[in-house]
Structure 1
Amino acid sequence: MAGLSVFVLSLLVGFEVISKVPATLHTPLMSAANSIHGIIVVGAMLIAASADTVLGYVLAFLASAFAAMNVVGGYVVTDRMLRMFRGRR
């Protein structure tokens, strides 16, 4: 039950923090957040290693999937941002 509580609270806090960021700052923040999401992937793996129940496995899988999506999305957004600053050929 504690794992589910932490998961739900982290979803709410994450949504609240990201929804307050202006659109002009969102791209640089996504770029800088890749390392944080990498740490979250490692944490999800640690949770999966210590999971005893089906709920623990499901939460570990969801945490891993969301963190991986954020890492990939951050790199895609960063690449798109960098392409805007390259000269046209």
Structure 2
Amino acid sequence: MDVFALVTITVLAVFLGFEVVSKVSSTLHTPLMSEANAIHGIILLGAIMVAGQATEPLPLVLSVLAVFLATINIVGGFVVTDRMLVMFAAKPSRAGKKEVSK
């Protein structure tokens, strides 16, 4: 693949990922954060494709950096979502405990 095709794939992957994520309304962003961050996988796939086809050092370094940063973004999004879900989880009820009245 020539450089133009690789740049085109990268730009389209970034644009598509941004457009899909930006369409999530602000009221739904918190509960849908993990899904929105998973969409960044599109950017990750584009970066992997560019890294696999790179023959010169600069595109290779930039695409490997893009793969690294996209991976951190995806994993971080899932970690934050997991923490938020734990915060909103139902707390165990105290119905099973007997209170001693004085």
Same topology, TM > 0.5? yes
Cα gap change, 1:24/1:80 in structure 2, threshold over 3 Å: closer, same or farther?
farther
1:79 correspondence with 2:82: yes
Task: Give the match for residue 72 of structure 2.
Answer: 69
Q: More helix by proportion, 1 or 2?
A: 1
> Please, which runs of 5 or more residues in structure 2 have no aligned partner?
1-5, 11-25, 93-102
Displacement of 1:74 after TM fit?
0.7
Q: Is the 8 A contact 1:31 1:78 kept in 2?
A: yes
Aligned equivalents of 2:88, 2:79: Cα separation in 1: 15
1:34 correspondence with 2:23: no
Residues 32-67 of structure 1: CA deviation (Å, up to 9, x unaligned): 322221111111110011112111111111110110
Q: TM-score, normalised by structure 1?
A: 0.65
Instruction: Report the residue type matching 2:56 in the other structure.
Output: T
Structure number with greater CO (CA < 8 Å, separation at least 6) is 1
Q: How does 1:1-89 map to 2 (within 5 A)?
A: 27-28=30-31, 30-89=33-92
Cα gap change, 1:80/1:24 in structure 2, threshold over 3 Å: closer, same or farther?
farther
Instruction: Report the residue type matching 1:60 in the other structure.
Output: S
Q: How many residues are matched?
A: 89
Instruction: Report the residue type matching 1:52 in the other structure.
Output: T
Q: Moved runs in structure 1, 4+ residues, more than 4 A? A: 23-26
Q: TM-score, normalised by structure 2?
A: 0.58
> Please, which runs of 5 or more residues in structure 1 have no aligned partner?
8-22
SS at match of 1:86: coil
Residues 53-88 of structure 1: CA deviation (Å, up to 9, x unaligned): 111111111110110001101100110111111123
Indicate the RMSD between aligned Cα atoms, in angstroms: 3.1
